[in-house]
Structure 1
Amino acid sequence: MSDRIHAADPGTETTRIAVRGLTKIFGEAHALPGALALAERGTSREEILAQTGCILGLRDVSFDVREGEVLVVMGLSGSGKSTTLRCINRLVEPSAGHVTVDGVEVNGLGEAELLAFRRRKFGMVFQQFALFPHRSILANVGYGLEVQGVGREERESRARAAIEQVGLAGYENARPAQLSGGMQQRAGLARALAVDADILLMDEAFSALDPLIRRDMQRQLVALQDRLHKTIVFVSHDLDEAIALGGRIVLMKDGAIVQGGTALDLLTAPADDYVARFVAHIDVLGVLTVASCMHPAAAIPAGATAGEALARLGVADEGFTVDSHGRPSGRVARERLAAAESGAPAGPLADPPGMVAAADTTLRTALPAVGGQGVTAVVDGDGRLAGALTQSAIIAALAARVRPDS
């Protein structure tokens, strides 16, 4: 399988979860070996079912989850995304392949070891809230700690802290039926946080919620992640949700990974027609970054003369003066430089730089600056001039994404 299809990306970051060659066959025990052999030969899902009566759930799934990232595993119904998540903590037993979490081979753990490992490593949040109706929110949130044998005083203290983190302070004594769906889902998230597991496995966690509440929960999770830096595997069928949560995406179809990468990767370099169709109606302004649309900008150093600045402009109509650290300090037009004496300093001829845009921000975020100024300086992570963004560049980028059948 090619690197483009696999979502694994070694990089320099710490890998918390490594999934390698994961395959899952559902069916009668006597038929599984034959079905697995067919799967390894690349036989289609339909043919495996016809020949063996077994259902191919996953085929050769491989990816890494890095320390502190949100990885969204997504696809349509039946794609294998939830099965993949459940194989990570062995709620579903893989037919082949390996899952390693923090260097521990999860497949090799005995029953008691696996149970202890789950309690220590994972927090689970499901689509169904799974709250005990007869227990208070405080007792529900502290349930995982109770199972671990944590004493009542510490258990309630940690549960209260988790409840506050998700914005439910004041509802500790309420029963689940007294809370809205969004509040119940927050309680489910608090329960996962209370056990202090730094790996969260979230399976369609917000799918049952109304759209407005769902977006609120997405924002809540992003805000929590900014503070807590958990490692999260989030299963979703919604591309807009994946974009809202940020991070990388593993897109699945028929039990296999079709493509892995950022939303921008899927949008600008789809692996096949399926991916292209999947992202055809994506919110382009919310995905394309300034860096993907900017063009080179003339950097005019402090102390340059008008003649030197003109030479640096080349064919451009304007450029940016920069300080000794390369940060934009002004914006200067060709005609103003041309009207000045060649030896005159360029600095006084520049206007203030106005708003600048970071290279990694989305076009939607940068639009106000570009709309008001016509051209905007783009800066890197250190504030140095990296390029320029214009209205025409944005229009060209959007036009390039318009598909004939869209």
Structure 2
Amino acid sequence: MTENDTSIALRAEGLYKVFGRRPHDAVERLRAGTPRDELDGATAAVIDASFEVRRGEIFVVMGLSGSGKSTLIRMLNGLHDITAGTITVNGEPIAGIPASRLRATRREHVSMVFQHFALLPHRTVAANVAYPLELKGVDRRSREAKATEILAMVGLEGWGDKLPAELSGGMQQRVGIARALAADTDILLMDEAFSALDPLIRREMQDQLIELQQRLQKTIVFITHDLNEAMYLGDRIAVMRDGRIVQIGTPEDILTDPANDYVEQFVQDVDRARVLTAGNVMERPRPVVAEGAGPRTALRTMRDAYMSAAYVVGRDRRLAGMITDRDAMKLIRRGESALASILKPVPQAVSQDDVLMDLFVPAVESPLPLAVTDDTGRLVGVIPRVTLLAALGPGPGSTEEITVLQPPIPSTVIDQVLAEADAAAAAAADSEEVR
């Protein structure tokens, strides 16, 4: 494995899986351009699939029934032979190797969670979780301790002595995940792992998988037919149709730049609020006032932008607060030159990684377009309410929000106040000179 390959946990190149007569001849015909449905006596389940799975990512393979996704995942751990192409795990091939070596690869590098749990009904929950360790020859005391630790990790503390039949479907799937984690492999394959669960339990399991992934940093290949699930879980997504991978990309790539009409139709009904983030839709912050600027500068900045308030930032672009045009006028009338005494706290700022679903309440409560900050607290963008709504579906692309706090003070009033302040300052200077 070369130095450039160290970030890749699993690689597939030119994969074909053909069932039926003369599969290798069928592969050659497919390569020559023969349509899938014209292969007499043969069925092509996977056609020329190539992809890489990076270490620590959740790579989702998504497609409708019959698209080839379940066949593909079974090829990744040797449950299905490869008709053509190569698969490497940590740089080592898994096709065409002796059965003993393939079993060792499964024990050490690749474990799997099945749709219908595949638990051993006569063994307790703890014994099911410990089973991979038993296959590795780990002693009983160590197996039991590890099983107890992992059951607590997946929220099943105290259930180790129960039989699988005594658990709900969601709890049984937690046992399946715990068993895969107990194997302590580099790669976790999950074939429609949550599709048999009720919607609420399914979402709970998705949340827990993400939480576990953040803690353990496993490499996960997740199969699903549910686009919302794919968008929620996947760091990257491979979309399959009729045995072929038609697009690979991030959830945002799939949603905003579908590769063809098939993918575009697929994503029409996706819950965008759970996929797009603040960083995807934010705009350049405007207006913004420097913390060291005076009230005159602040007032003119707001006037030029037709806004009645503005965010104030320090030299490092960190949010210092917000100021309104009326407060700036008060400072001018009092002859003050600093903003600090009258700054208002920012009601709420959001992270650029927050999904749109979590932004509605803060957006309604914020008198200014919602402030978006990075990990260091620097202001990197704003989201007007109209932009937030437009991002959720087709509609006007307006990108500005004018109504903030109160209507902006008319320019004529601002000019009059500035003129009065200038006159007062000049009078004060003349008086000082006379003295």
TM-score where L is the length of structure 1:
0.89
One-letter amino acid of the structure 2 residue matched with residue 379 of structure 1: T
Alignment counterpart, residue 53 of structure 1, candidates 41, 64, 80 = 41
- Whether the 8 Å contact between 1:299 and 1:385 is mirrored in structure 2 is no
Q: Does 1:163 align with 2:163?
A: no
- Whether the 8 Å contact between 1:182 and 1:214 is mirrored in structure 2 is yes
Structure with bigger RCO (C-alpha 8 Å, 6+ apart): 1
Deviation per CA, 1:226-264: give whole Å up to 9, x if none: 221111111011112223324221111111112122222
Alignment counterpart, residue 343 of structure 2, candidates 350, 375, 384 = 350
2:418 maps to none
Shift of 1:73: 0.7
1:381 maps to 375
One-letter amino acid of the structure 2 residue matched with residue 303 of structure 1: G
Question: Aligned equivalents of 1:262 and 1:24: distance in 2?
Answer: 26
Alignment counterpart, residue 316 of structure 2, candidates 305, 320, 325 = 325
Q: Does 1:111 align with 2:99?
A: yes
Alignment counterpart, residue 269 of structure 2, candidates 246, 260, 281 = 281
Deviation per CA, 1:306-348: give whole Å up to 9, x if none: 3333565542524311123211111234565467539833444
Deviation per CA, 1:202-226: give whole Å up to 9, x if none: 1011111222222222222122112
Question: Aligned equivalents of 2:101 and 2:191: distance in 1?
Answer: 23
User: 1:107 is paired with a residue of what secondary structure?
Assistant: coil
Alignment counterpart, residue 127 of structure 2, candidates 139, 149, 153 = 139
One-letter amino acid of the structure 1 residue matched with residue 58 of structure 2: V
Of 111-120 and 163-172, more deviation after overlay is shown by 163-172
Residues 395 and 11 of structure 1: CA distance in aligned 2, closer, same or farther (over 3 Å): farther
One-letter amino acid of the structure 1 residue matched with residue 294 of structure 2: T
Question: Aligned equivalents of 2:169 and 2:196: distance in 1?
Answer: 8
2:387 maps to 393
Question: How many pairs were matched up?
Answer: 388
1:3-402 → structure 2 map (5 Å cutoff): 14-28=7-21, 31-48=22-39, 52-297=40-285, 298-310=287-299, 314-315=304-305, 317=307, 318-334=309-325, 336-337=327-328, 341=332, 344-374=337-367, 375-400=369-394
Q: Which runs of 4+ in 1 moved over 6 A?
A: 10-13
Shift of 1:109: 2.6
Structure 1 vs Structure 2: percent identity of aligned residues? 44
RMSD: 2.3
Residues 287 and 104 of structure 1: CA distance in aligned 2, closer, same or farther (over 3 Å): same
One-letter amino acid of the structure 2 residue matched with residue 38 of structure 1: R
- Whether the 8 Å contact between 1:73 and 1:233 is mirrored in structure 2 is yes
One-letter amino acid of the structure 1 residue matched with residue 267 of structure 2: V
Which one has the largest radius of gyration? 2
For structure 1, the 5+ residue unaligned runs are 1-9
User: 1:68 is paired with a residue of what secondary structure?
Assistant: coil
Question: Aligned equivalents of 2:278 and 2:63: distance in 1?
Answer: 27
One-letter amino acid of the structure 1 residue matched with residue 124 of structure 2: S
For structure 2, the 5+ residue unaligned runs are 397-435
User: 2:248 is paired with a residue of what secondary structure?
Assistant: strand
